[in-house]
Amino acid sequence: MTTINVTVNGTQHGAEVEPRMLLVEFLRETLRLTGTHVGCDTSQCGACTVHLNGRSVKACTMLAVQADGQSVTTIEGVAAGDGTLHPMQAAFREHHGLQCGFCTPGMVMSALALVERTRGYELTETVIRQELEGNLCRCTGYQGIVQAVRAGAETMKAG
């Protein structure tokens, strides 16, 4: 067993973990933050996307011990403390960017990282589709997702 200390959604967590435990397993099984989904176990679908020190990563490709001393943000840490949805989450709801909802947490986390990386640039449909290639949705056909990301980005940009 290995001791790790990780800040998740602003809260410090210390835990004993198996050295081979994946970050996604730590989040879901140890911390009970089940918004981060396991969809493929091969880093193909993006359902497990979280932010590590502000950078988008797939939690199924990273060991929990690699997050020691780091800061992780999951979908549970995106909304305001009073439960008010983040503008990107609200845009997904408003623009029907979800159907079954399984991929939605990863899509939202990837979209937030995209907006952060491209601040000041216009997010065209082509750019959004290219940037979200690592996230798979088997339900929506992506049009609502693209519209949601664009609308969420505009709201975030406005302030």
The residue extents of the domains of the chain are 2-77, 87-158
Residue 24, H or E segment = helix 23-25
User: What is the per-residue pLDDT for 121?
Assistant: 73
In whole angstroms, what is the distance from residue 122 CA to residue 140 CA?
24
CATH top-level class of 87-158 = mainly alpha
In whole angstroms, what is the distance from residue 98 CA to residue 84 CA?
18
- pLDDT under 70 in the chain at which residues? 120
User: What is the per-residue pLDDT for 120?
Assistant: 63
∠ Cα 31 41 69 (to 5°): 40
* Residues across the chain: 159
User: What is the per-residue pLDDT for 118?
Assistant: 87
Q: What is the pTM of this model?
A: 0.93
Task: Round the average pLDDT of the chain to a whole number and report it.
Answer: 93
Residue 109, H or E segment = helix 104-117
Query: Strands 55-58 and 11-17, how do they pair?
Result: unpaired
User: What is the per-residue pLDDT for 108?
Assistant: 97
CATH top-level class of 2-77 = alpha beta
The encoded tokens of residue 50 equal: 């979280």
